[in-house]
Structure 1
Amino acid sequence: MDTGEVFPLPAAEMEARIKAGLEQRGFVVLKSPLAMGMTALKAQKGEETLRFILAPRSALATQVQASGAAGGRTGEAYLRDIMGRQRLPATEGFADRGPAASDGSSNLAIPNPILARIESVVCVTAVLKERTVQFSGFVVDKSGLILCTAHDLKQIQAMNAVFYDGGRMEARIVRMDPRRDLVLLQVPARLDAYIPLTGGRNLVGMGERLFTVGCPENLNGTVYSGFVNGPPRRVKDLPLWQVNMEVLPGSSGSPVFDVEGNLIGMVKGRLRGTDSVGFLIPVETMIAFLKENQRR
């Protein structure tokens, strides 16, 4: 992260201190792991939410980025109250990490519009006849509709969706399109957090910075950053964006956003033999798929 305050405490101790301070102030605190050893803390009190991203900067220093507001006060104000004067200048106490790693991960601060999307992302586990597969998806409607990739979904015996807060629900297939590699799932509940496809972008620029939020290796809320590194290509007469972005097992189905939180596409997969050359299903393909479902 390039923004936030640095405190002279190890990451585990910093996390415990913030969590205890927030709970003393009446918040319910949830923890999620992020990329590159970072941790996200979400503090909820009623309808108000604070978010804290913790990044180790050395064995004895942790950088914290706070966002959100509650009770008329910002996340930064709560952080200052909890930590008092125990903080360092942002350039003190650790060696600079330098530019973003070449594998597509990033040490850039995670923009607040991306953090606001994390609760809409779902980890999906499907029990097949001979094995279990895990992938990602995201809520597209309050009625409990979830959009995911469709590959590997054959001879399904059971399917579950796990949400950011740890809640788990049985999911059923509403419609599947193997050609587009898309599947629409339904869970038996109304969901407040969702990502409308109507606000997405169909065009992105070469070199544009993107962020994906998903469940690689079953770690919900994991954020990776990358960029567009190739023109759109057509595979089986369908367009795909090529990106330089870390794509790990379980990443398929992760939503991808621009820096303002606009939906760009969904992770389809990676180039075989690499973990940093990925392909995205564009938002226009997802919209066409959902429109066809509405007409049925």
Structure 2
Amino acid sequence: MTQGFPAMSGSLIEPEPAPAVKPFWRRTGTAVTTAALVAALFGGVTGGVVGALNAPGETVGTSSTPVALNSGSSTLDVSAVAAKVLPSVVQVNVAGAQGQGLGSGVVLSSDGRILTNNHVVAGAQKVTVTLNDGRTVDAKVVGTDPASDLAMVQAVGVSGLTPATFADSDDVKIGDQVVAIGSPEGLQGTVTSGIVSALDRTVTVPGATRRSNVSYQAIQTDASINPGNSGGPLINAAGQVIGINSAIYSPASDNGQAGSVGIGFAIPANQAKQIADQLT
């Protein structure tokens, strides 16, 4: 249950797509606003959505050699986790009437079914995905659920991709070590690490319109999450997805953009899997 702490001052940033040209959204303020290059969690280059929070890393290299992963959460071998999960993470590139942006996504099937945040693809007229091997392929949005801020994208003409493995997010505990992977500021394949800071944190971020705010009970982490991480996975020590990174908390800035201050939020894997099944 959410604890009854006073509401935080500042803003909740939902990493959105980072705009390659210019952001899709530009709302400013101290309570609810977006900040992105087009997106904080949404995109890669820059971006993010700022929302209201109801209170209750270190970048590492990767290894190409498979390593046995720890089945528990007491010890985190970041290089092993990265080696296992990086092939299952893509960059989602979008273009719309007002500009371009990008976000992250998690591979669900070998033929290119990809889960991401709805705010990453909302308003997109063209979508492509950049795979871990560097290929960029066409994609299409096949389902969206604005109420949960999740969407399904289908990459076209691909096969042999590596699906991510999902964990039971009900088993996640405060203090568990975690890894986040995505395209913060457009830097694809960035890996950061931290711990689960809190559970059942009520997060509210702006929806497509001012009257369609999105709220969910999130996993809170101090793993560095920035604009461009949106839609990417939060992963446990066994290399399993425990959440979909979707928002960050940050003090509001004059231009509406902000980076990680060690307070990020992910939609729990169990909720993500349930919605994903409905979007296929």
Determine if the TM-score, normalized by the shorter chain, exceeds 0.5: yes
Answer with 1 or 2: which has the greater Rg.
Answer: 1
Match of 2:146 in 1: 178
CA, structure 1 residues 181+114, in 2 after alignment: closer, same or farther (shift >3 Å)? same
Superposition RMSD on alpha carbons, in Å?
A: 2.2
SS of the counterpart of 2:119? coil
Match of 1:244 in 2: 222
Q: Which one of the candidate residues 186, 191, 195 is aligned to 2:164?
A: 195
Match of 1:292 in 2: 278
Match of 2:94 in 1: 126
Mapped to 2, the partners of 1:113 and 1:154 lie a distance apart of 30
Aligned-pair identity (%): 25
Matched, 1:280 2:272: no
Matched, 1:136 2:104: yes
Mapped to 2, the partners of 1:117 and 1:213 lie a distance apart of 8
Mapped to 1, the partners of 2:61 and 2:79 lie a distance apart of 15
Matched, 1:222 2:208: no
Deviation at 1:293, TM superposition (A): 2.6
Mapped to 2, the partners of 1:225 and 1:169 lie a distance apart of 29
The aligned amino acid for 1:240 is A
Moved more, 182-191 or 226-235: 226-235
Mapped to 1, the partners of 2:120 and 2:277 lie a distance apart of 24
Matched, 1:146 2:114: yes
Q: Does the aligned pair in 2 maintain the 1:208–1:228 contact within 8 Å?
A: yes
SS of the counterpart of 2:278? helix
Mapped to 2, the partners of 1:120 and 1:152 lie a distance apart of 18
The aligned amino acid for 1:229 is S
SS of the counterpart of 2:225? coil
| Map 1:5-154 → 2, pairs under 5 A | 39-40=61-62, 51=64, 67-68=65-66, 110-154=78-122
Q: Does the aligned pair in 2 maintain the 1:140–1:146 contact within 8 Å?
A: yes
Unaligned ranges ≥5, structure 2: 1-56, 68-75, 204-213, 252-258
Mapped to 2, the partners of 1:40 and 1:260 lie a distance apart of 16
Say which structure is richer in helix. 1
Match of 2:236 in 1: 258
Q: 1:199-235: CA deviations, max 9, x gaps?
A: 4433211111100111112222211001111231234
Q: Does the aligned pair in 2 maintain the 1:201–1:262 contact within 8 Å?
A: no
Mapped to 1, the partners of 2:135 and 2:84 lie a distance apart of 18
The answer to which structure, 1 or 2, has the higher relative contact order (CA under 8 A, 6+ apart) is 2
SS of the counterpart of 2:125? strand
Deviation at 1:154, TM superposition (A): 3.4
Mapped to 2, the partners of 1:155 and 1:232 lie a distance apart of 30
Q: Does the aligned pair in 1 maintain the 2:224–2:264 contact within 8 Å?
A: yes
**TM superposition score normalised by structure 1:** 0.61
Q: 1:247-294: CA deviations, max 9, x gaps?
A: 111011111111111211110110132512101100011111122234
Match of 1:267 in 2: 245
Q: Does the aligned pair in 1 maintain the 2:59–2:192 contact within 8 Å?
A: no
Deviation at 1:172, TM superposition (A): 0.3
Matched, 1:161 2:96: no
